[in-house]
Amino acid sequence: MAQEDDPPVDLKAAEALPVLYSFRRCPYAMRARMAVAACGQRCELREVVLRDKPAELLAASPKGTVPVLVDVDGSVIDQSLEIMLWALRRNDPDGWLQPERGTLDDMLSLVAECDGDFKRHLDGYKYPERHPGHAAAAHREQGALFLARLDARLQASPCLHCDQVALSDIAIAPFVRQFAQVDAKWFDVQPWRRLREWLAKRLNAPVFGQVMDKYPPWRAGESGVHFPAR
């Protein structure tokens, strides 16, 4: 029985969850969802349609990209890597922030390569109509240089920073997946056996399947879905 001097329970606050705006197929959103799922932090996931962005998303982050996390205190994180760090610093049961070889800064440096030149060439390869004057084949050739370096790293160990999956594997895999899907036949005949094995393991991992469930688009006035669902 509660004592007279016990503080009242705020049921609304007790039920509050961080809100995660996401888009299922976006590689940035994929990696954020995987980190949130791995840490076990429950969120209210709001699946958005990028061609019809809700006003609530734009109010939280005017740049209008996903993922965006709005914490229970109203603070906003609108960079996928920062959402990953937010989640894993709360709880990191699989040690994704503690690579067996190297440091967190080493992993962040590799992720920066992915998010920089490689992502630029991935976009030019996947969406050549958006990059006039630059042939898709040229972008594919430049993007392949980064993939070849990843394959070389994987010659020594099954993951990018030794034997265990770490943040760099989770953060980079969705972008390699997207690159591979542009022309799967071409990708499958490249001399990157270790990279293909690594990618297959990432895509077959339970955490990836867990975050790829389909949800209906969120509408204002509706509740999002509890995520992770299982």
Closest CA to 48 of 72, 71, 19: 19
Q: Is 63 exposed, middle or buried (0-12, 13-18, 19+ CB in 10 A)?
A: exposed
- Can you give the pLDDT at residue 28? 98
- Can you give the pLDDT at residue 12? 41
- Can you give the pLDDT at residue 230? 65
pLDDT tens string 36-49: 999 999 999 999 99
- Can you give the pLDDT at residue 5? 46
More confident residue, 212 or 130: 212
pLDDT tens string 78-130: 999 999 999 999 999 999 999 999 999 999 999 999 999 999 999 999 998 87
What percentage of residues in the chain have a pLDDT greater than 70? Answer: 91
More confident residue, 191 or 134: 191
- Can you give the pLDDT at residue 33? 98
- Can you give the pLDDT at residue 133? 66
φ/ψ (deg, to 5) at 19 = -100, 130
CATH number for the segment(s) 17-94+209-227:
3.40.30.10
pLDDT tens string 149-185: 999 999 999 999 999 999 999 999 999 999 999 999 9
Closest CA to 121 of 198, 182, 203: 182
More confident residue, 165 or 134: 165
CA distance 82 to 28: 11
Report the mean per-residue pLDDT for the chain: 92
- Can you give the pLDDT at residue 85? 98
User: What's the CATH architecture for 104-205?
Assistant: Up-down Bundle (1.20)
Name the residue ranges covered by the structural domains of the chain: 17-94+209-227, 104-205
- Can you give the pLDDT at residue 10? 38
Checking if the pLDDT of 9 tops 60, the result is no
- pTM across the whole model: 0.91
φ/ψ (deg, to 5) at 25 = -90, -5
CA distance 207 to 93: 13
